[in-house]
Structure 1
């Protein structure tokens, strides 16, 4: 079979601005390509790399003429996926169109459309491999666990339950030969690094585990994973990291070190194998404070930075979100990491009801922290969570999915939306000024200076103008 796997291009300027700082590999498509097995001609089309995404897809359909087209997508990309599926149907009416990814998992009914044949929910490798196998044998892809057929075959009852997570050992090493590794880069956070080191190195994404044990009210992960954290075989992860062409590894786990035994085992295995790379990981303040020696060990083998979800500057807000920590624990974790030489990416959320006083409080809190790489989102519960169901009646836009990038408020703001955008953008720009390398005036390559200026400008502009993404009637009141 000829198989084309497609990563859509975002519509919202906020996401496009963020991608100037970080554009990660289409890892999910690499997994699917590996799972499909040998004997097929497979191509990956990352539309994020194309100025005119529709033209790029049209050209690929004309030249490659695939038998099977697979789309992935987050919630904010759902409308684009639907539009692109209609483009495919119009040009290759006989091709099979499959949609998977996060939104297909949490809101599969949105894809029960004539332009789509199959919907894959949950981890897609096993069901996608079964689809390819059935079609290759000339059989209908029916009765496959985790796969919904559309139209008259659509099963609303099967669309309501959560799909089960597979054994992490079945996750293959992704097909990185299907894209150009140098196309994927990320601004690299560090407490210190040699002068003139590349600020935007090529980055490979690696997943070492599934799920999370925590139950933050806005997060869908506990529901998708059944409240469990499951790890991949250590030897498989080591082999994937060693084979990745990039020297910088961005871990895209939900939480890297919550299983301390696995964290130790992986660190020791990487050192025994002689793997020498730089790492960025996601963790929690509670994990850092519980296992500081584990983080120290990871620093010794190359951990440069860690993502910490600070979320809010007050204990009351953290409690309301069921975060499982407090402000003092966040600050203790930040100081422990910095003492180890690990830079902190401190992630904060603002609430739609924030006004001048709340933004001033957040800005003052961030300015008082030691240097860190800060990012800011709007507290946006994911479809499928109780918080989302509770707030849905209050959404002020007709299709909230189009705004679900965690940077657009879905419920009415307490101040005019235009003013909210300005304060939000100012907060984001103020956070950029507090990065460790900027505070230390670290010399960087001239080419990176220009790239950084463009990234900061696009990032700020996306926030500053986010009110324009809404109907004009919402801008000023």
Structure 2
């Protein structure tokens, strides 16, 4: 069988807040590089909205592409499926592979006529088999977590065991060549990295726990530190769901980075209760360069936090914000807007932000992702639910206490009132002046 040549596609998305490195596709590229297969990255965020389909066809033809891989998120799935249908109509012999977060959770939704392979395994071992054998289905009989069409029928194998590492280095060449195009508003250009898989918490609205078979696992400290050292960027976003879960591991990572004189700036996700638990090691975290935390505050009322099964409280949230402020760290407040909100709930969020002096904030209307408990419990309430509307700005259930119009106005005002502070921080270069890790004497 002739060697396949791959096009790795990340489709367009709203990049006003952030344009981030396509880490998932870079891991696939790492496997292809390991197996000596040719591939080309194609990131739509680089290009205008005009002539999108014509552009991807040109890319396929100029590079003699035989297989196209799509990384599917919930909010881009509809767009990708439409593109796949158009591609197959023009080039029926093209092999189409889909994977990514949404496929990992709801893979059977992608057993469709114009898709040839669906990849949903936790790790990349089965993908290695597929690439090494140039998508020969006879070689995939015992491969875990991959589905394919054989004799007109879908064959799908169960997932393998949960993983503790991908065991391959991502090919970051696309990021390195285009780092100015990948940026986070008012913060600069961050490389993405994972040091753990899944999440040990059970928030009922969050899809993250479902990954890796709901099994929380950590990469070894040595592998994490080595990858940080190898990344050619001084700003790194460790996109684990809660980097501070294992306090002893965090201490070990920080100490090793300091020992190696690695002076980089790190952004992480951290739960409020984890920040409180790690209060005594905040000076160490700061010294190591961990100065930017995205904190799922979610709500400013205990009853709402309880409804999310957050296992936290407003008191803990307030203490976490204070700890970060006292240690000169960024607190990015992440809030979830629920459908039972009244006028007072929106006002309370504004007051909390002002009282806690938060600058970086993000808001999302509750998304009942398919595969979460909150989706199952509210399936009968879903309103115009489809993939393309799961971006956190659309109503997916009807508001219970105010009109839909007033709900949307309140949601828009959260951004209009609070985002000017972020733009001001960008103009004043606040992040670089105040939070960037500039070395041991800072």
Name which of 408, 413, 428 aligns with 1:443: 428
Seen in structure 2, the aligned counterparts of structure 1 residues 317 and 138 have a Cα distance that, compared at 3 Å, is: closer
Counterpart mapping for 1:354-393 below 5 A: 354-393=341-380
Please state how far the C-alpha of 1:70 moved relative to its aligned partner. Answer: 0.8
Please state how far the C-alpha of 1:155 moved relative to its aligned partner. Answer: 5.1
Is 1:26 the counterpart of 2:10? The answer is: no
Seen in structure 2, the aligned counterparts of structure 1 residues 59 and 165 have a Cα distance that, compared at 3 Å, is: farther
Deviations 1:146-182 (A, max 9, x none): 00124843258x6xx7x45643233422101144233
Structure 1 range deviating more: 21-30 or 268-277: 268-277
Aligned residues: 420
Is 1:427 the counterpart of 2:426? The answer is: no
Deviations 1:307-338 (A, max 9, x none): 11110110001111110110000100110111
Partner of 1:409: 395
- 8 Å CA contact retained: 1:378, 1:408: yes
Seen in structure 2, the aligned counterparts of structure 1 residues 122 and 144 have a Cα distance that, compared at 3 Å, is: closer
Seen in structure 2, the aligned counterparts of structure 1 residues 70 and 238 have a Cα distance that, compared at 3 Å, is: same
Is 1:4 the counterpart of 2:7? The answer is: yes
Is 1:183 the counterpart of 2:181? The answer is: yes
Structure 1 range deviating more: 354-363 or 63-72: 354-363
Q: Secondary structure at the match of 2:352?
A: helix
Deviations 1:416-473 (A, max 9, x none): 33332221111122222455x958x98339xxxxxxxxxxxxxxxxxxxxxxxxxxxx
Q: Secondary structure at the match of 1:76?
A: helix
Name which of 201, 221, 234 aligns with 2:188: 201
Deviations 1:3-61 (A, max 9, x none): 11111113xxxxx1xx2221110000001111232421111111122213323311211
Please state how far the C-alpha of 1:347 moved relative to its aligned partner. Answer: 0.7
Seen in structure 2, the aligned counterparts of structure 1 residues 424 and 122 have a Cα distance that, compared at 3 Å, is: farther
Distance (whole Å) between structure 2 residues aligned to residue 363 and residue 344 of structure 1:
16
- 8 Å CA contact retained: 1:148, 1:155: yes
Instruction: Extract unaligned runs of 5+ from structure 1.
Output: 11-15, 188-198, 446-477
Structure 1 range deviating more: 406-415 or 201-210: 406-415
Moved over 6 A (4+): none
- 8 Å CA contact retained: 2:198, 2:210: no
Q: Secondary structure at the match of 2:309?
A: coil
- 8 Å CA contact retained: 1:3, 1:68: yes
- 8 Å CA contact retained: 1:114, 1:150: no
Seen in structure 2, the aligned counterparts of structure 1 residues 62 and 154 have a Cα distance that, compared at 3 Å, is: same
Partner of 1:42: 39
Seen in structure 2, the aligned counterparts of structure 1 residues 125 and 178 have a Cα distance that, compared at 3 Å, is: farther
Q: Secondary structure at the match of 1:218?
A: coil
Please state how far the C-alpha of 1:140 moved relative to its aligned partner. Answer: 5.1
Distance (whole Å) between structure 1 residues aligned to residue 29 and residue 327 of structure 2:
39
Q: Secondary structure at the match of 2:294?
A: strand
Distance (whole Å) between structure 2 residues aligned to residue 27 and residue 127 of structure 1:
18
- 8 Å CA contact retained: 1:304, 1:343: yes
- 8 Å CA contact retained: 1:367, 1:434: no
- 8 Å CA contact retained: 1:101, 1:122: no
Distance (whole Å) between structure 1 residues aligned to residue 289 and residue 127 of structure 2:
35
Q: Secondary structure at the match of 2:69?
A: strand
Q: Secondary structure at the match of 1:246?
A: coil
Q: Secondary structure at the match of 1:170?
A: coil
Counterpart mapping for 1:30-429 below 5 A: 30-36=26-32, 37-52=34-49, 53-123=52-122, 125-135=124-134, 139=138, 141-150=140-149, 152-154=152-154, 163-164=159-160, 166-179=162-175, 180=177, 181-187=179-185, 199-397=186-384, 399-414=385-400, 415-429=402-416
Please state how far the C-alpha of 1:141 moved relative to its aligned partner. Answer: 3.5
Instruction: Extract unaligned runs of 5+ from structure 2.
Output: 431-442
TM-score by length of 1: 0.82
Q: Secondary structure at the match of 2:300?
A: coil
- 8 Å CA contact retained: 2:359, 2:421: yes
**Cα RMSD (Å):** 2.3
Distance (whole Å) between structure 2 residues aligned to residue 409 and residue 352 of structure 1:
8
- 8 Å CA contact retained: 1:119, 1:150: no
Q: Which has the higher contact order (CA 8 A, sep 6+)?
A: 1
